[in-house]
A and B are shown apart, each in its own frame.
Chain A
Amino acid sequence: MIQVKIFGLENCSNETRLLEAANIEELMLKISEGLDVAQIDMLRSCAVIVNNEYIMNQDRVKTELKDGDDVLILSPIIGG
């Protein structure tokens, strides 16, 4: 199981959730279930950190996940 925490995305709980996914792209698709198009667009703009390491956008498909990985998804909130 992958431990996932999402922060700052509207209507998306920031409770830690446990998901199965082979890579980041697959994980994103699982999280996208139940979200509307606008939210999915926003999800794709989030920073992704796996086990304390940033995953650049272009590396999301090839970044494989394994049991016990810790994934943090941060929405780029900007309000002031």
Chain B
Amino acid sequence: MLDDKQILRYSKQIILKDIGLKGQMKLLNSKVLVVGAGGLGSPALFYLASAGVGTIGIADYDTVGLSNLQRQILHFTEDIGQKKVDSAAEKLNRLNPDVKIIKHLLGLNNLNIEKVISEYDVVVDCTDNFQARYLISDCCYFLKKPVVEGAVVRFVGKLMTIIPDVSPCYRCLNPIPPEDGVMPSCSDEGILGAIAGIIGTMQALEAIKIMIGIGETLSGRLLLLDGLSMKVTEIALPKNENCPICGTKPTIKELVSYDIKYKTKTHLVKGNRFKAF
């Protein structure tokens, strides 16, 4: 049961008829894994922690850098050089001591991902590369865990929720990764922080709805945001019967580890050319 402080802390959402005490208890008893504590992970983690999700796992191997701070709002200037999982956990513990934060200081790969994901009810994909996105989607399909998938670049963002066997998965849309050298890496592309803020926040909302079991998720729907024109488009996404993992004749039976080579790009800043950092 909730104590008096918890009832007060969550009162604004407990009075919502779709949540109530029952919904709040569900959140406190839920476990969510956020992969990537960066631009999307920051807002997602803030709202998941403030809403009182009982256990939050954070998986990230990276360190806070100066160029992260423009969008990765969980990390502050004095955190530069710290591991993102440490910086994130410290803020979230201060925000809401009710929440148990589990730090996974590792890069997920085909050997360790199942063990990590199997501990959680819902996965929020806030990663920045193809390898991780395929791995998370595939693993969650095998383990039958819902995934909230968000991605951003420049002024655009996209969001979809994957309920295994019900909605299309990441591979339904992109059956195989692009060829080497075609796609620029995330660190080579620009992004406005507020776009990551919007999509990451929407990811938290989707995950909360799944954990409580309310509303209608973006399962089978793809939401596209163009922040420059502030247009939101929603597309009904069917399952892909030719999907190599969840289609009618699956060819992928185990986790695949990709080594994708990204296109490198040079930028012009103040007249000096330098390789993207």
Contacts and interface: CB of A to CB of B under 8 A. Distances in A.
B183 A7 contact: no
Contacts of B133: 78
B224 interface: yes
Interface stretch (B46-54, B73-81, B172-180, B269-277): B172-180
B57 interface: no
A80 B182 contact: no
B196 interface: yes
Nearest to B133: A78
B102 interface: no
Interface string A22-55: 0000000000000000100110110101001110
Contact of B153 (A8, A41, A49): A8
B238 interface: yes
Contact of B128 (A7, A10, A42, A80): A80
A45 B152 CA distance: 17
Nearest to B186: A79
A79 B191 CA distance: 8
A44 B116 CA distance: 34
A74 B51 CA distance: 33
Residue picked from A8, A10, A41, most chain B C-beta under 10 Å: A8
Given A45-B183, A80-B39, A80-B41, A54 B151 contact: no
A3 to B, nearest CB: 13
Contacts of B196: 79-80
In the complex, which of the residues A52, A54, A76, A80 has the most CB atoms of chain B within 10 Å of its own CB atom? A80
Contact of B36 (A5, A76, A80): A80
B183 A53 contact: no
A52 B191 contact: no
Contact of B182 (A45, A72, A77): A45
A14 interface: yes
B242 A78 contact: no
A49 B40 CA distance: 26
B226 to A, nearest CB: 6
Contacts of A53: 238
Contacts of B186: 78-80
List the 5 shortest-distance A-B pairs measured between CB atoms, nearest first.
A45-B178, A80-B128, A79-B153, A79-B186, A54-B240
Given A56-B242, A57-B175, A76-B183, 7 more contacts: A42-B183, A54-B172, A74-B173, A77-B157, A79-B196, A80-B36, A80-B41
23 contacts: A7-B156, A8-B158, A14-B156, A14-B224, A14-B231, A45-B182, A47-B173, A54-B238, A54-B242, A56-B242, A72-B235, A74-B158, A74-B222, A76-B173, A76-B178, A78-B129, A79-B39, A79-B151, A79-B152, A79-B191, A80-B39, A80-B40, A80-B125
Interface of A: 5, 7-8, 10, 14, 38, 41-42, 44-45, 47, 49, 52-54, 56-57, 72, 74, 76-80
